[in-house]
Amino acid sequence: MTRETTILAGLAVVALGGLAGCGAGTRQGEEASIRVPVATREVTARTVEDLVRASGVLRAPELATLTVETAGVLEIAARPDGRRLEEGDRVRAGDLVARITGKDVEVAARLAAAEQSWRSAVAELEAKQALFEQGLISRIDLSRAETAAADARVELDRARLTLTRAELRSPIDGAILRLARTESGLPAAAGQKVPAGFLVAEIGPIDRLVADVDLAGEDALRVRRGLEARVIHPGLDRVFAGRVARVAPRQDEQTRASRVEVGLANAGLLLRPGMIVTVELVLERHEDVPVVPRDAVTERRGRPVVYVLEAQKADEREVRLGLGDDRVVEILEGVSLGEPVIVRGLETLTDGTPVRDTGA
């Protein structure tokens, strides 16, 4: 064989090798192109809860009302610094909130006269008792003195009651939630004459509150006293812890809903009665359990399954589901922690489908 022939043979071998290499690369590219693109997430451990979520309205746990018993001119009391009381001010039990004036001089004079009459009647009775014991007066005279003293006491009590009715004092510690407003909701003018029955003030504690939640259907049947709760206001970057304090024993006849009362501490006094909040009632909690994204669970043959990425194929696993929320669900059986489950691109998958993880 000549040298020229040898060179030509070598070139032929190289050419054939190149063609073979191109064929293998083409096949690999074709195989990669027919793999279904998917995205995966690992099975992780976390806490999951079974929740009932509903809207609620905050209120004070108790409410004291002060109303006018006799018509007169309304005078709102002042704070120690001289400023007139306003809604939101804190008061303690026994503090003066308002008084009904216009007849205060007459009432005071009547009380003073009643006290003087009672003291005189008591002194007269004591003197009559001494005379009766000495046999100097009859039983009838003594009885008359006893009756006069009793009548004087009744009149004194009546005068004191009248004075008490003229002064409106808070029966509890709390904040003034409503103060001297007319039927239209406007503040009553200073010195305004008010009728009997006029609502002067509503007072309630605000360091602790109650969220009233109305639940219907199955949710109402699952809630019980003592359940943990979370109260959330959209304008505040925090969660307030609470507990179910009461579940109404009957449903509302019109709405067919059951009232659930959730008690909570109002730390920092950030919440206010009347606010609308979101209440989460924790029915059940499982801690440190395997979970997958909701998007990883699909249904095949009427049963829940997930697809695990294994050797570039979709390994179909039938699973048993536990607790979950809108984002994740607990897996009781079927997968293990750390396994990559397919969360996107699983709509057309079957067991063994070739896939490629896009990482997105």
For 186-196, the pLDDT digits (tens) are 888 878 888 88
- The domain defined by 34-46+287-357 carries CATH number 2.40.420.20: yes
Q: What are the beta bridge partners of residue 213? A: 56, 260
- CATH fold group of domain 52-60+205-285: Elongation Factor Tu (Ef-tu); domain 3 (2.40.30)
The pLDDT of residue 132: 81
- Mean pLDDT in residue range 100-123: 71
pLDDT band at 141 (very low <50, low <70, confident <90, very high): confident
Strand 64-67 to 199-204 pairing: antiparallel
Residue ranges per domain, the chain? Answer: 34-46+287-357, 52-60+205-285, 64-204
pLDDT above 90 for 296? yes
Task: Write the CATH number of the domain with boundaries 64-204.
Answer: 2.40.50.100
- Mean pLDDT in residue range 256-283: 96
Residue 22: strand, helix, or coil = helix
Cα 129–chain centre separation:
67
- CA-atom Rg of the chain in angstroms: 42
Cα 262–chain centre separation:
6
Q: What is the pTM of this model?
A: 0.67
The pLDDT of residue 18: 44
pLDDT above 70 for 285? yes
CA distances from 4 to 8, 10, 270 (A): 6, 10, 96
pLDDT band at 162 (very low <50, low <70, confident <90, very high): low
Closest alpha carbon to 51 in 228, 173, 216: 228
